[in-house]
Homo-oligomer: A and B are copies of this chain.
């Protein structure tokens, strides 16, 4: 993964709406979700959603496939992982404290249960 790709991916992630999209779509796996359903879940106007979906797709973080009149979007988990590891590798040079903080927080998160949402927020 080269720098410009990583930078594009980071820029794409650095927006509230787009993080919401990643958060919503990740648990859906490769199947993903249709744009209309996403718009409904997140309460977004269609053009606005389109704008952010295409930003994420451009950055390589989402894939899309057409099915009848729907377009399904799914997260490219490999790309997300690569982006994260870019920050760890290239920027932080495997600095032990960064890795430690990362590992610690990952464990803490798992302990508390800010996990396993996967469809439960279906109000």
Contacts and interface: CB of A to CB of B under 8 A. Distances in A.
B89 A115 contact: yes
A109 B95 contact: no
A44 interface: no
Given A90-B23, A106-B89, A98 B84 contact: yes
Contacts of A82: 101-102, 105
Contact of A19 (B16, B78, B91, B118): B91
Contacts of A104: 81, 85
A97 to B, nearest CB: 4
Nearest to A1: B105
Given A23-B92, A85-B104, 14 more contacts: A7-B14, A11-B15, A13-B14, A23-B90, A23-B93, A26-B92, A27-B93, A77-B95, A80-B92, A81-B103, A84-B88, A88-B102, A89-B109, A94-B116
